Every structure is written in structure tokens, then in C-alpha cells.
């Protein structure tokens, strides 16, 4: 093995000739590769052996590759590599990516006022040799009077080569007056831009015409004032969207807020910022007609008066945290139906609460569902088993019982006429089960017992007892559950 | 054909194979669909029809050794399967890059030559993680880089921030202006005090200057440029009318003043790059390095020299003239006084 390792360094020596036949033989017979683990161990051994020649392999890499490596570093760090060795002195100047992060949690934060940071960035622009910028990441606080400087930077960077832009700009507190920086128009009409992230106090406006981003694939908006439709209409090939709605949505009170998701969307995250106290306006029209959608995550409680949902045959992962009034619940049920092809479904508490008080509704069959996570407002084993009937491919089930420990008798949900099936095939694929907030009620116990007795390939069962239960009680639970005969021989039970 | 032989011997292996030749000359067979994951191999097969037999094996670039090829093929084998989730791919990639630095360099070089972009990005990120947050010494240790820069060259990135000659001229003029104002202030104090005090202070000053001269000269032997500057100043010194101690003192003070004030300004601007607590912050020494004259064009240098001479003349002029000057620019002085107080310059020399 060691001989072959030495062999890997590309220098022609006479010993190579004698090794060829044995090498190719072993290659063909053992499916082409040396076991990876062995190879790595050998490597480690060699490097820790004393007297190993210290080969500087990184310097044999071409400049373009070294520059590529530097492009993954924050710009301050990349600039600092100029003191490493002669070769590295001017490498950073050819960087096409700028990562200028002066946010407070960044390790490169310059304390003592943003003026130092601004001078630093000016120095970067002055000293670099490359004429274009392909990626810009800028996160900082804007001090008084420096809006123009920042806009100049953005203007310098926008060009036919700009591919990614990330801006997280905020004003230092106690800034009165105009607390927004207007994004230069060229950014919103860039033909080359593929990824755009805007956070903070950036203000979007286009004077003549509209937003036109024909190459944009990734968009993230987390702005205080934004009319999302204004931007979304100009992104015909958008694949990823993350939209955060703040209290000042919608921007224009006279126009009804509408959100039309681009048809090409594959990943959608819609979040409503929840640290506001006042009521938010209703969303007039929400259209999620995106047949290519693979990932969906919605956190929303604004009333949606009209929602258009299409089918999502490619859905893989869906997380729903939606709270609607009784009148609007209808679209949630429609959404659930549209998500029936998903592999992962995660329904948070408010969603479950809404669904459980919804009028009678036929739950769709989730034929591909592998992973189900539910936060339930109260525990009802009958209902859960009925639910399991509709996802017989299920491999992972996680329940979180958010019921407050009380003596109120939970009522049977009046919804969900579920088709009855042969009870035995319900959990035929279940491998992992996790139960959080276990309160050891008779119902819960019955359910857990059912799974243990009936789950043929159950591998892991984790029960997290409710925090109000003491250690002794947990021990008792463990004893009780361990006595239940298990259908699966390899099942491991864990109670914490 | 050996491929047909293979098909006869192992009928269950219905995949087609491609022949690849690595840098050492050895030839091996690889499943076609895995090899096609590499754009270069794909190109060779499609456009040139190579690789179908042992004789027409695709010869891979020099950077691809048998061991790196096997690693690359492992990578391709995992990722060309379509049904994997993002999580799976990520965790595989994380484990994949757990290898020695030299191995990573070999691998990235090979992947780059095969135009396998995702693997190049993965390894580049791993190498970047090894660089980030480390001191230069640590990085040199990890990558076995030669430490082949002189001390001066290592400080260059800092100096270059204010390399713009206009900025340096501006700094110099500001320093002179400040010096001027400070002198006026001191003159005012001097006039108020007794003449005797002046006398004594002159002696003190002389010893101080001589001592200072010696020290200064010792410090500046390493920088010949500074010596030249010193000589120039001393030449000017002799050319002036009154060779009073005050004159000397002021010129010397001018020098040190220049240092400190320039130092202040440049210190401020250069500190922007490197902060004291950062892991990657070379020590900043503020000698007169920033005042190298060679960077400045002769025209500007002349202008500066003229300024210096003018300044010296003004100081040497009669008391009445000085007072005249002082009184007329009184308003100006008070307004800038507060400004100069701010940077601690007066504090150090008052």
C-alpha cells in the first residue's frame, strides 16, 4: 500500500514500470478503486511520519485556481494573504468576488464607526486590478452622509458581468429623516444578474419602465418597504424565492396587495415577520401557480382573501405554519391536497389547529410521504391512526404534543372523513418515531403501544417526556413501555 | 475486442466501459456513465470518439494520477445517481474533503483539468476554510509556503493604502499648517515669558537637538532615504539667515512633528485595514517610511520645498512682523485651534 502511495506523486522513476501490472490488475478486479478509507489512512500516516518532505503543492496550482480559492474568503482575509509569500502578493487583486461584511456578528467587524470600513472598501476598489466584479456581498451600517459613497460602490459594480449581489444595509440608529437608500436602477435592469439578495433599508424603485431581470434565478427580499409584485413580474426564470413581509406591507395602501409567484419557481419561502403588534393588512390575491415547485415553506397569518393553488407533482418538502380565520381555511385544505406528492410534510401548531376545526374534508392520500412532522394541539390517537392510513409509505414520524397539561377532555375532531383501510398495513414502513411532550395519558400510551406492537421494521423510538414529569416518572414510563412486546426485533426504545 | 469478452464472461454487467490513460501511462476501464460526468471526458468521447478500446484510450491531462482519478470517480459515482437528496449529497461532500492538504491540492488540480466544476468548487471551499481566520505563520505551516518576502514588502500593503501622491501631499500640507499654527501659539507664549527663560531653554534645546540628532541618525541608518532627507533639511538649515537655536529646534521639531502628524493621519487611514485584535494583522510601525520622497513627482517636491523654505523664513522674521501676522490671522487661529487640539498633536508637544 505504501508503495502505491508514493507512486501517486507524479514523478517518473524506474520503479513505476514494475508496478504497473499489479496496479491495473487490482484495479480491474476490485472495481477500480482502492478502498477510500485505506487510502486516507495511508495519507495520514505519511503526513505524521517524521521526515516527510514538506511539499508545497498549493504553489503548483495555476493562478486562476488560487484566485478561485480566494474568492471564497471574505475580502479582508483575501487581501491579507498578500503577505504570505511572493506568489500571493498580487493574487487578491484579480479577485472577481468581493465579500465586504461589516455586520456586527462578522469576525472581521471594524469597531469604532463605519468610517474605517468605508475607507477600507475604497482602498479595495482603488487597489484591485480586475476591471469587473462578478459577485458582491456588502453588509454594513451606513453612517451619516455616506449614502452617496455606498451608491457609488454599487454603481461601480453593476455591469454586464455581475452575477450575484447581496446587500444588507441598515442605517445606524437614531438616524432621522430619509432612512432609505435607493438602489440604483441599473441593478434592477441587469441582464446578467443571477442572484439578488436585498435586506435592510434598501428602497426599490424604477423610474421609467419596469424591473427586468431576465437571468435572475435566486431572489431574496427582506425589506421594510417592498411591493413584491413589482419585482416578481420582472423575473421570468426565477427558481428560488424567499420573501419576508414586514409590517409595512403592502407599501401602497391604495393598491390591493397581490403576490403572483413566477411560474418557473422551484423553491418558495414566504415568511411573515412576527415581531409586530398591530394588525396587518389582508392579502388580496395570492397566486402560487408553480407546477415545478419542489420546496415550500409558508409562515403566514395575514388573511388571504383569494388564493390560487395549482398542483405540485414534484413536491419534495413542505413546511406550513399558517393561521387563518375559519372563512379562509378553505385554501389551506386545497393546499394540502396539492401537496399530496410530497416526501416531507411539516405542519406546525397553527396549521393543525386550523385544520382540526375545518369543516368536513377528505384528507388526500400521501402516496410518497416518507417523513411527517406534526405539532398537535391535543392528542387523539384515533385521529392519528386514521391519518397514518393515508401515508402508508411513511418512514419517519415526529409528533409534538403541544397540549397544556390539563384535565379538559379533548373532543374528537369533526372533520376528516378518512377512508378506512386494512389496519395492518398502516405502519409497515415506519422506521423512526419520535414523540415530544409525552404526558403519559392513557390515549398516548395506547398509541405508543400500538406502534411498538404493530411496527414490523421499527428501528428507533424516542419518547421525550413532558418537562413537568420528574425523573422517577420517566423511569416508570420506561419500565412500562419496555414490557410491551415489540413486533420488530431491532427496535430501540429511548425515554428522556 | 476485450469489451465483448467482458460481456461474455460477466453477462450481468451490461454497462459500457471507457478506457482512460492516466499521467503515468497506465490504462484502466471505467463505467461510461460515471466517466461522462467529467466534461472533458465527455467531450473526448462525443467529439473525437475516443475511449472505446484500449488502443484509443483517452489520455487524461498530466495532473490526473491514478489515485486522484479513483477519488474523482468515487465522487462522480455518488453524484451521478439522480435520486439523492440535498442532505445526502452535502454530508457525502463533507466527508469527501476530509483529507490532507497536499492531497486536496492534487485533487483540485486534477478536477480542474477535467473541468469538473462542482468538485473544484467543493475543494476550493475546503482549502479556503483552511486559510480563513488563521495567522500568516499558521497558513505557511499548513501549506508549506516559503516565507520569501522582506519585512518591508510585508508592510507594503499598508503603505499602499495612502500611496496616492495627492493624498500624501495633502497630508504633508496639513501637517505644515498645523505646525505653523502651533508655532504661532508657542511664540505667543514665548513672548509672554521672560527672556531668560528663552536663554536657558536654548541650551536645553541645543543639547536636546544634538542628542536627538544622534538618536535620530542611529534609528535611520536602515533607511537611507530618510538620511537623505535629513541632509537636505540640514542644508536648508545652513542656508537660512538666522541660525538660531529656535530655528534649529523648529526644523527638527518640524521633522519629528511631521513624523507624528503624518503618522497620525496615515495611522488613522491604515488602521482601517488591520485592527489590533484581528488574527491577520501585521504589526504597523510608523517610521518615516511614509515620507519617502521618491514617490512624489519632482514638481510637487519642489512645491513642498518652497513651502518649507517659506515657512522657515516666516519664523525667522522679526518679532513685529510676527505679531502682525499673528494678529491678522487671530480669528483663523482660534477656529483651527480647537481642530488641532482634537488629534492630540498639541498634547504631545505642548
Kindly provide the ipTM of the predicted complex, given to two decimals: 0.71
Of B79, B83, B92, B73, the C-alpha closest to B32 is B73
Distance separating alpha carbons of residues A339 and A334, to the nearest angstrom: 9
In this predicted structure, what is the pLDDT of residue A346?
94
Q: How close does chain A come to B145, measured CA to CA in Å?
A: 6
- Chain A to chain B Cβ contacts (< 8 Å): 157
Q: Please state, in angstroms and as integers, the Cα–Cα distance from residue B59 to each residue in A44, A70, B97, following that order.
A: 30, 31, 26
| Helix spans in chain B (H) | 2-9, 32-35, 39-48, 66-79, 86-96, 101-113, 117-131, 136-143, 151-159, 165-192, 195-219, 224-239, 245-270, 298-316, 319-328, 330-342, 345-349
Q: How close does chain B come to A474, measured CA to CA in Å?
A: 34
Residues B108-132: pLDDT tens digits? 999 999 999 999 999 999 999 988 8
Measured between CB atoms, which of A4, A58, A110 is closest to B272? Answer: A110
Under the banding of pLDDT at 50, 70 and 90, the label for residue B231 is very low
| pLDDT > 90 fraction of chain B, expressed in percent and rounded | 11
Least confident range from B38-42, B146-150, B214-218, B317-321: namely B214-218
In this predicted structure, what is the pLDDT of residue B120?
94
In this predicted structure, what is the pLDDT of residue A342?
93
Distance separating alpha carbons of residues A344 and A162, to the nearest angstrom: 36
Distance separating alpha carbons of residues B331 and A122, to the nearest angstrom: 36
Q: Which residue has better confidence, A164 or B289?
A: A164
DSSP code of residue A236: T
Distance separating alpha carbons of residues B124 and A72, to the nearest angstrom: 8
* Chain A residues near residue B24 by CB distance under 8 angstroms: 7, 10, 12, 16, 20
Residues B319-343: pLDDT tens digits? 556 666 566 654 444 444 444 444 4
CB-based contact B286:B266 (threshold 8 Å): yes
Distance separating alpha carbons of residues A196 and A180, to the nearest angstrom: 18
With an 8 Å Cβ cutoff, is B151 touching chain A?
no
CB-based contact B128:B105 (threshold 8 Å): no
Q: β-strands B17-21, B27-31: how paired? A: antiparallel
Q: How close does chain A come to B58, measured CA to CA in Å?
A: 16
Locate the chain B residue with the closest alpha carbon to A14: B24
Asked if B68's CB is within 8 angstroms of A83's CB, the reply is no
* Chain B residues near residue A83 by CB distance under 8 angstroms: 136, 149, 154, 157, 282
Q: How close does chain B come to A354, measured CA to CA in Å?
A: 31
| pLDDT > 70 fraction of chain B, expressed in percent and rounded | 47
C-alpha angle A413-A419-A425 in degrees, rounded to nearest 5: 110
With an 8 Å Cβ cutoff, is B71 touching chain A?
yes
Non-local (6+) Cβ contacts of B278 within 8 A are A108
Distance separating alpha carbons of residues A200 and A223, to the nearest angstrom: 5
Measured between CB atoms, which of B103, B124, B160 is closest to A69? Answer: B124
* Chain B residues near residue A24 by CB distance under 8 angstroms: 26-28
With an 8 Å Cβ cutoff, is B102 touching chain A?
yes
Residues B140-158: pLDDT tens digits? 888 888 888 777 777 666 5
- 3-state secondary structure (DSSP) of residue A438: strand
* Chain A residues near residue B125 by CB distance under 8 angstroms: 72
Q: Please state, in angstroms and as integers, the Cα–Cα distance from residue A432 to each residue in A352, A440, A488, A492, following that order.
A: 22, 20, 12, 10
Residues B256-265: pLDDT tens digits? 444 444 434 3
- pLDDT value at B204 more than 90: no
In this predicted structure, what is the pLDDT of residue B350?
43
In this predicted structure, what is the pLDDT of residue B37?
87
Under the banding of pLDDT at 50, 70 and 90, the label for residue B294 is very low
Measured between CB atoms, which of B23, B120, B146 is closest to A85? Answer: B146
Mean pLDDT for all residues in chain B: 66
From first to last of its 496 residues, chain A has per-residue pLDDT tens of 333 333 333 444 444 333 334 333 333 333 334 444 444 444 444 444 445 566 777 788 888 899 999 999 999 889 888 888 888 888 889 999 999 988 888 887 877 777 888 888 888 888 888 888 999 999 988 877 788 888 889 988 898 999 999 999 887 655 556 667 888 888 899 999 999 999 988 877 776 678 899 999 999 999 877 778 888 989 999 999 999 987 666 555 566 778 899 999 999 999 987 766 566 677 888 999 999 999 999 998 888 888 999 999 999 999 999 988 888 888 998 999 999 999 999 999 999 988 888 777 788 889 999 999 999 988 887 778 878 888 888 999 999 998 876 554 555 544 343 334 445 567 788 899 999 988 888 888 888 888 888 888 889 999 998 888 888 888 888 888 888 888 888 888 888 8
Q: How close does chain A come to B67, measured CA to CA in Å?
A: 6
- Within 226-265 of B, beta carbons closer than 8 Å to A belong to none
Amino acid at each position: 500500500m505504501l508503495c502505491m502511495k508514493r507512486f501517486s506523486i507524479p514523478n517518473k522513476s524506474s520503479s513505476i514500470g514494475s508496478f504497473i501490472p499489479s496496479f491495473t490488475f487490482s484495479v480491474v478486479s476490485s472495481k477500480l478503486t482502492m478502498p477510500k478509507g485505506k487510502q486516507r489512512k495511508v495519507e495520514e500516516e505519511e503526513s505524521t511520519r517524521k521526515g516527510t518532505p514538506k511539499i508545497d503543492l498549493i504553489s503548483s496550482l495555476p493562478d486562476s485556481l488560487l484566485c478561485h480559492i480566494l474568492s471564497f474568503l471574505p475580502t479582508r482575509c483575501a487581501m491579507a494573504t498578500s503577505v504570505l509569500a511572493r506568489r500571493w502578493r498580487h493574487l487578491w487583486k484579480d479577485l472577481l468576488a468581493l465579500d465586504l461584511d461589516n455586520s456586527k456578528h462578522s469576525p472581521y467587524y471594524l469597531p469604532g464607526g463605519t468610517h474605517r470600513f468605508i475607507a477600507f472598501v475604497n482602498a479595495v476598489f482603488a487597489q484591485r486590478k480586475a476591471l469587473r466584479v462578478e459577485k458582491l456581498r456588502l453588509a454594513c451600517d451606513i453612517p451619516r452622509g455616506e449614502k452617496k459613497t455606498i451608491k457609488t460602490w454599487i454603481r461601480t459594480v453593476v455591469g454586464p458581468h455581475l452575477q450575484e449581489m447581496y446587500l444588507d444595509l441598515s442605517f445606524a440608529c437614531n438616524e432621522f429623516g430619509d432612512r432609505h437608500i435607493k438602489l440604483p436602477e441599473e441593478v434592477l435592469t441587469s441582464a446578467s444578474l443571477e442572484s439578488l439578495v436585498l435586506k435592510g433599508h434598501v428602497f426599490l424603485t424604477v423610474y421609467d419602465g419596469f424591473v427586468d431581470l431576465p437571468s435572475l434565478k435566486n431572489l431574496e427580499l427582506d425589506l421594510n418597504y417592498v411591493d413584491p409584485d413589482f419585482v416578481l413580474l420582472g423575473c421570468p426564470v426565477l427558481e428560488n424565492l424567499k420573501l419576508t413581509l414586514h409590517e409595512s406591507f403592502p407599501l401602497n395602501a391604495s393598491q390591493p396587495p397581490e403576490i403572483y409567484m413566477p411560474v418557473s419557481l422551484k423553491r418558495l419561502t414566504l415568511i411573515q415577520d412576527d415581531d409586530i403588534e398591530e394588525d396587518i393588512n389582508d392579502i388580496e390575491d395570492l397566486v402560487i401557480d408553480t407546477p415545478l415547485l419542489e420546496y415550500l415553506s409558508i409562515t403566514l397569518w395575514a388573511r388571504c382573501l383569494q388564493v390560487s393553488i395549482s398542483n405540485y407533482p414534484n413536491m419534495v418538502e413542505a413546511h406550513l405554519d399558517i393561521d387563518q380565520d375559519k372563512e379562509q381555511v378553505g385554501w389551506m385544505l386545497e393546499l394540502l391536497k396539492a401537496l399530496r406528492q410530497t416526501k416531507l410534510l411539516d405542519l406546525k401548531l397553527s396549521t393543525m389547529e386550523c385544520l382540526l376545526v375545518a369543516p368536513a374534508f377528505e384528507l388526500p392520500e400521501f402516496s410518497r410521504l416518507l417523513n411527517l412532522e406534526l405539532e398537535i394541539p391535543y392528542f387523539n390517537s384515533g385521529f392519528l391512526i386514521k391519518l397514518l392510513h393515508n401515508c402508508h409509505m411513511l418512514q419517519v414520524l415526529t409528533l409534538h404534543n403541544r397540549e397544556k397539561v390539563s384535565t379538559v377532555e379533548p373532543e374528537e375532531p369533526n372533520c376528516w372523513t378518512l377512508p378506512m383501510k386494512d389496519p395492518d398495513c398502516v405502519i409497515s414502513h415506519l422506521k423512526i418515531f419520535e414523540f415530544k411532550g409525552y404526558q403519559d395519558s392513557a390515549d398516548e400510551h395506547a398509541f405508543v403501544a400500538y406502534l411498538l406492537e404493530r411496527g414490523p421494521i421499527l428501528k428507533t423510538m424516542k419518547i421525550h417526556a413532558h418537562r413537568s414529569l420528574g425523573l422517577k416518572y420517566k423511569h416508570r414510563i420506561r419500565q412500562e413501555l419496555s414490557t410491551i412486546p415489540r413486533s420488530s426485533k431491532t427496535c430501540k426504545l429511548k425515554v428522556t | 475486442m476485450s469489451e465483448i469478452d467482458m460481456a461474455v464472461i460477466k453477462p450481468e454487467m451490461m454497462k459500457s466501459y471507457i478506457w482512460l490513460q492516466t499521467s503515468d501511462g497506465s490504462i484502466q476501464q471505467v463505467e461510461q456513465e460515471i466517466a461522462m460526468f467529467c466534461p472533458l471526458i465527455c467531450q473526448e468521447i462525443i467529439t473525437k470518439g475516443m475511449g472505446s478500446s484500449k488502443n484509443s484510450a483517452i489520455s487524461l491531462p498530466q495532473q490526473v494520477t491514478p489515485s486522484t482519478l479513483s477519488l474523482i470517480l468515487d465522487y462522480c459515482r455518488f453524484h451521478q445517481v439522480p435520486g439523492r437528496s440535498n442532505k445526502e449529497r452535502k454530508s457525502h461532500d463533507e466527508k469527501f474533503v476530509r483529507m490532507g492538504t497536499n492531497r486536496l491540492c492534487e485533487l483540485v488540480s486534477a478536477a480542474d483539468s477535467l473541468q469538473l466544476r462542482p468538485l473544484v468548487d467543493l475543494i476550493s471551499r475546503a482549502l479556503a476554510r483552511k486559510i480563513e481566520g488563521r495567522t500568516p505563520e499558521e497558513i505557511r505551516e499548513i501549506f508549506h509556503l516559503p516565507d520569501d518576502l522582506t519585512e518591508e514588502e510585508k508592510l507594503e500593503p499598508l503603505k499602499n493604502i495612502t500611496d496616492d501622491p495627492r493624498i500624501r501631499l495633502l497630508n504633508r500640507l496639513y501637517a505644515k499648517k498645523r505646525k505653523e499654527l502651533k508655532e504661532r501659539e508657542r511664540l505667543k507664549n514665548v513672548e509672554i515669558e521672560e527672556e531668560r527663560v528663552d536663554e536657558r531653554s536654548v541650551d536645553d534645546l541645543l543639547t536636546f537637538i544634538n542628542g536627538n540628532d544622534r538618536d535620530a541618525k542611529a534609528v535611520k541608518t536602515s533607511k537611507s532615504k530618510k538620511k537623505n532627507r535629513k541632509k537636505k533639511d540640514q542644508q536648508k538649515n545652513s542656508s537660512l539667515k538666522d541660525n538660531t537655536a529656535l530655528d534649529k529646534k523648529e526644523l527638527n521639531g518640524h521633522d519629528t512633528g511631521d513624523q507624528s502628524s503624518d503618522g497620525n493621519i496615515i495611522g488613522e487611514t491604515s488602521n482601517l485595514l488591520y485592527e489590533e485584535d484581528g488574527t491577520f494583522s501585521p504589526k504597523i510601525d510608523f517610521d518615516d517610511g511614509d515620507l519617502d520622497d521618491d514617490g512624489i513627482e519632482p514638481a510637487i517636491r519642489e512645491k513642498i520645498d518652497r513651502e518649507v523654505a517659506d515657512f522657515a523664513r516666516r519664523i525667522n522674521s522679526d518679532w513685529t512682523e510676527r505679531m502682525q501676522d499673528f494678529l491678522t490671522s487671530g480669528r483663523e487661529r482660534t477656529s483651527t485651534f480647537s481642530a488641532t487640539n482634537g488629534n492630540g498633536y498639541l498634547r504631545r508637544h505642548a
